[in-house]
Structure 1
C-alpha cells in the first residue's frame, strides 16, 4: 500500500474520517495548523491524518497510565499501523484516524515506517531514557521529529526542477525536524523537568554547571550558567535550521510555504529564547496568534522561503 498512486475522490466515509482528523489538528496542533492550512485540500487532509495518528501516539506517552499500560497501548497502536500498511483497513473501519491514514497512504508515497520510528521515540520517553551526548539525543530527535519531516515529504513531494538534488530532500527534511525538536526541548525545559524528563545532553548540562533538578523550580544557583547552556543549544539549532532549509527550493510553492510557515514560527520562537533564556524557566514561551498568522502569510507569499534560502546560502558560503 505504501507509495501507490491513488487519485479517486474520497467517499463520504473517508471524507468524514478526514474531517475528524482536521478537527483534531485544528484544536490541538497549535503551530502545525498554521502551516498546513496553506496546502491544497488533498495534502492538507493527508497531513491532518498524519498529525492525528502522531497525536494519538504522543498522548499515550504523555498520559497518566502506568508505564506497563503505556507500553501495551503503544504496541496496540503499532499493530494498527501494521493493518494500515498491509491494506487491512477499509473505509468502513470504525477508527477514523486509521481510515484517513490508510487513504492518505494510497494517495501519496508516505513512508509509514516513520510512524514506527515515532512509536520507538515515545517508548524511549516511557522508559525514562536520558541522553549523555548530542549524538544520543539526536537519535531520539530523529525518531520523534525527523521521522515526521520525512513523512511530510512523502505528502509534499519534490518539484520536477529539483533534479539530482531531490535525492537529498529526505535528509534535509529529517534535519529540519531535528531543528524544530531541539527548539521544543528548549521551550519546554521547565515543563519536562516537572514531569521527570531531561532531554538536554548530560555533557552539556555538566559543561555549564546546570542540574536539571533545579529546572523544576526555575531557581538555579549562581554557579550555573543557564544562559550559556541555552545559547549553546540555540547555536546548534540554528545550524540545523540552516541545513534543513535547503529543502525549500526542492518543494512546490504551496508545500514550500507550508514548511516555511511552520519552521518560521519555531525560528522566531528560538529568537525569543535566545534573547531571554531565563524565560523558559518561568513557563512555556510562545508566539502570539497574530505573529503566527503573520508568519503564515509571509510563507504563502514566498517571502520567508526566499529570505531563508538566501540566509542559508550565505551561511554555507562564508
Structure 2
C-alpha cells in the first residue's frame, strides 16, 4: 500500500508507527552467541515463515532454538507432503521415516519443486543444530515428527481423499489434528518441560487441540480460492453439499449466496474452539510464551471476521491490512484481558455482519453470544464509575497516550505531502514546464498590490455627464 492509502487511512499509519516505535520485545535474539549453522537456520526460518518468524525470535532463550528448529523440521515435512510432483512410492516412506532421517548427518533432499525446497536442499544445517539441543527437547521434536509424518503419509496414500476431497467433518478435524493439533501438542510439551507454562495444560489435551484446530481451520477457510486453483479441496463435503451440488459451484457467480452461506457454516465450526483457546492462553507463565501463542490466535479471529460474508475470498487471496496487523500484535502482547477484548471486538463484528437470510443465522448469533458470555465470566463488568477510573489509569500508563506519538504521525503526513508536491513539480519541470514566467507573474501581482491606488472621483461628479 502506498503513501496515498495511509493519508486516507491515518489510523492504519498510526498503528504501524505505534508498533515500530513502542513495541519492546521481552527477549532479543543474541546473534553474537550463534554458530554459523544456527544463523543459517534462522535465515531459513525468516524465509519460510510469513507469520511465526518474529514471535519465535522473541521467545525466552530457553526455548528459542528448540521452537525454531521444531518449526523448520515440520516445514520440511510439510514441503514434502505438499509437493505433488514427488511420486507416491517415494513420498510415503519419506514422510513416515522423517523422524529417523533427521538424525542422519549431512542429509539433504533435492527432489522437491515447492517454494520452500531450498530448506530441504540444505537440511543438513538443521540436523547439525538439532544434535545440540537438550535431550528432553530433542525427544519431543522427534516424537511429534513421527506422529505427524505418519498422519501425512496416511492422507497422501488415500487417493480417494486427494481426488474427491474430505468427506466428513470428522475427516476434516482429523486432518487438522495431524497438520496443526500435533504442532500444538509439541509446543505445549516444550512449554511445560521448560516450566514456562502451567503443567496442568499437559493434562488437558482438548485445550491444546483447540489451539491448533482454530488456526488451521481459519487458514483453510481463507485459502479456498488458492486451494481450488491448485486442485486441492479441504472443505468437508458434509458441509458444502448442504449448499451446492458440486464443489465447483461455489465459485459460480450464480451461486454466490449459497457459497457465502457455506463459508458462514465453516466459520461457525471454527468459532466453537474459541473458549478453549482463551482458557489455554491463561496457562502461560512466561510473557514471551504468552505473546507467541496469543498473536496467531488474535490474528485468526480477525481473519475470520474479515472473510465472514465476504465474497472476495472466492476470487482472490484476502489478507488483514498491515495497520490492523500491527494494532492486533501490539494489543496481543499486553495480557489476557486485552486479548479477550480483541476477541470480543471481532466476535461482535461477526455478529453484526450476520445475515438473517443465512440458514446458520441463529446458530452463529448463539455462538457469538456464548463467546461473549465466556469472556464475561473471566472478566466480569464493573460499575461505570470504577470502570472509567480503571480505564483512565490504564491509559495513563500506556505509550498510546504519549502526545509525541501524534506529533510523529502528523510530521510523517506533512513530509509525505511535501514530498508528493516536490515530486509533481519535478515531473512538470522534466516535461518542459517553464516556471520563470510563473515567478514573474507572481512578482508583478505582489507589486501591483503594494502600489498606491489613484484617487476615485466623488459620487456627485457624475452629474456633469447628464
Q: 1:114 aligns with which of 144, 169, 172?
A: 144
Contact in 1 for aligned 2:167/2:236 (Cα 8 Å): yes
Q: Which residue of 1 aligns with 2:36?
A: 16
Could you report, residue by residue, the CA deviation over 1:88-121 in whole angstroms, capped at 9, with x for unpaired residues?
769xx98122233343452637353222232234
CA distance 1:291–1:48, change in 2 (3 Å): farther
Q: How much does 1:286 deviate?
A: 1.8
Q: Does the alignment pair 1:135 with 2:135?
A: no
* Superposition RMSD in Å: 3.3
Q: Which residue of 2 aligns with 1:200?
A: 235
Write the distance in 2 (CA, Å) between the matches of 1:79 and 1:286.
37
Write the distance in 1 (CA, Å) between the matches of 2:66 and 2:230.
32
Write the distance in 2 (CA, Å) between the matches of 1:179 and 1:246.
13
Could you report, residue by residue, the CA deviation over 1:52-77 in whole angstroms, capped at 9, with x for unpaired residues?
11111111122232333322432452
Q: How much does 1:190 deviate?
A: 1.7
Write the distance in 1 (CA, Å) between the matches of 2:36 and 2:62.
14
The number of aligned residues is 297
Q: Does the alignment pair 1:65 with 2:86?
A: yes
Contact in 2 for aligned 1:112/1:151 (Cα 8 Å): no
- The residue correspondences of 1:21-170 to structure 2 (distance < 5 A) are 21-63=41-83, 64-81=85-102, 83=103, 95-104=124-133, 106=135, 108=137, 110=140, 112-127=142-157, 128=159, 129=161, 130-157=165-192, 162=198, 165-170=200-205
CA distance 1:76–1:280, change in 2 (3 Å): same
Q: 1:257 aligns with which of 283, 291, 298?
A: 291
SS at match of 2:172: helix
Contact in 2 for aligned 1:153/1:173 (Cα 8 Å): yes
Q: Does the alignment pair 1:212 with 2:247?
A: yes
CA distance 1:94–1:36, change in 2 (3 Å): closer
Q: Which residue of 1 aligns with 2:20?
A: none
TM-score with structure 2 length normalisation? 0.56
Q: Which residue of 2 aligns with 1:188?
A: 223
Q: How much does 1:185 deviate?
A: 0.7
TM-score with structure 1 length normalisation? 0.80
Q: How much does 1:14 deviate?
A: 7.6
Q: Which residue of 2 aligns with 1:5?
A: none
Q: Which residue of 2 aligns with 1:174?
A: 209
Contact in 2 for aligned 1:193/1:212 (Cα 8 Å): no
Structure with the greater relative contact order (CA < 8 A, sep ≥ 6): 1 or 2?
Answer: 1
Bigger radius of gyration: 2
- The residue correspondences of 1:276-291 to structure 2 (distance < 5 A) are 276=310, 278-291=311-324
- The residue correspondences of 1:201-240 to structure 2 (distance < 5 A) are 201-209=236-244, 211-214=246-249, 218-222=251-255, 225-240=258-273
